[in-house]
Amino acid sequence: MVETRDDPTIVEPTDAIIRVTATCICGSDLWPYRGVTDVDHQVMGHEYVGVVEEIGAQVATVKVGDFVVGSFWASDNTCEICRAGYQSHCVHRTLMGLIGTQSDRARIPLADGTLVATPRQPDADLVPSLLAASDVLGTGWFAALAAQAGPGKTVAVVGDGAVGLLAVLAAKQLGAPRIIAFSRHPDRQRLARDFGATDIIEERGDDGVVKVQELTSGLGAHSVVEAVGTQESMMQAIHATRPGGHVGFVGVAHGVSIPGELLFRSGVHLHGGPAPVRQFLPELLQLIWDRTIHPGKVFDLTLPIGQAAEGYRAMDERRAIKVLLTPTDVNETRGSSR
């Protein structure tokens, strides 16, 4: 449902107002959509790129007219946690989803810490990739790093949504020679291969684990990305990892419980959670700007924001990998969606 909301205004001197150029529907938006999480006229959306229209008195690093990318956590980028690279756990963090960027204009708190400007206005074809950097690419990148993907490593990716597919891209970019994608959808398998997957496994759960072991002399993968967030996917990820290996988990966990005995016996490293996307934005924007990576390929459906409901349906039914929403003209009805 798209509704009219009041225009955002500067509340804190560290705020910026952006005109949203593009936003999108996240897999995590589907949990409230499906009714797993209660919502009542909730604003939606936490992924965004746009042009700065107004800045608060204390904003210094972005200026009016800049094209900016930000992550789904607003962060000051100066506290001790941020400086350690964990901006998603910033002591002053604000969840952008509570503000809602599936709208025409949005207030960005802590603009200096949150937003990164591109060198110039981007060519139109770069916008989807820059938007991907706002969440799914940054999250896939974090997952690959948390799983210690790199040269000499066999990486397996559980989950063929946008984050999983972009974890494949990240693993490739980080130098992994062998990348296994779990997927049973031909279009997603194609994109996984395009992003660098060397092997596809269609089986799930224990059967999928057996296939990974067959490809790795019975040892399991060095690095496994978990990008779903269910009990089955987490168990699949842990079981597919060799002793001493690393699991990077970024699927928003719903009802996941890891038995202590399993964890004790497995000998694997587990690291993950909400990705500190902000840490990676400068590097990722450069890779996109230089056209080294093309993460925007995950968007396979573009709709005007007024048709957001159809976008939710398409993703829920897995007809679309990821939906890009284009805002209405600024002078038309402003919308947020649920």
The footprint of Zn ion (CB under 5 A) covers 75-76, 79, 82, 90
Smallest separation, CB 233 to Zn ion (Å) = 30
Question: Between 178 and 278, whose beta carbon lies closer to Zn ion?
Answer: 278
C-alpha distances in angstroms, 160 versus 135, 136, 304?
Answer: 16, 12, 25
Distance, CA of 166 to CA of 245 (rounded, Å)? 21
Do 256 and 227 form a contact (C-beta atoms < 8 A)? Answer: no
Do 170 and 140 form a contact (C-beta atoms < 8 A)? Answer: yes
Smallest separation, CB 7 to Zn ion (Å) = 28
Strands 199-201, 154-158: pairing is unpaired
Question: Between 77 and 233, whose beta carbon lies closer to Zn ion?
Answer: 77
Cβ-based neighbour number of residue 121 at 10 Å: 13
Do 161 and 250 form a contact (C-beta atoms < 8 A)? Answer: no
Element (DSSP H or E) covering residue 54: strand 48-55
Smallest separation, CB 274 to Zn ion (Å) = 13
Question: Between 80 and 290, whose beta carbon lies closer to Zn ion?
Answer: 80
Do 168 and 298 form a contact (C-beta atoms < 8 A)? Answer: no
Smallest separation, CB 12 to Zn ion (Å) = 15
Query: In 3-state terms, what secondary structure has residue 7?
Result: coil
Distance, CA of 62 to CA of 80 (rounded, Å)? 22
Smallest separation, CB 100 to Zn ion (Å) = 22
Smallest separation, CB 91 to Zn ion (Å) = 5
Strands 154-158, 221-226: pairing is parallel
> What value does the CA radius of gyration of the chain take, rounded to a whole number of Å?
19
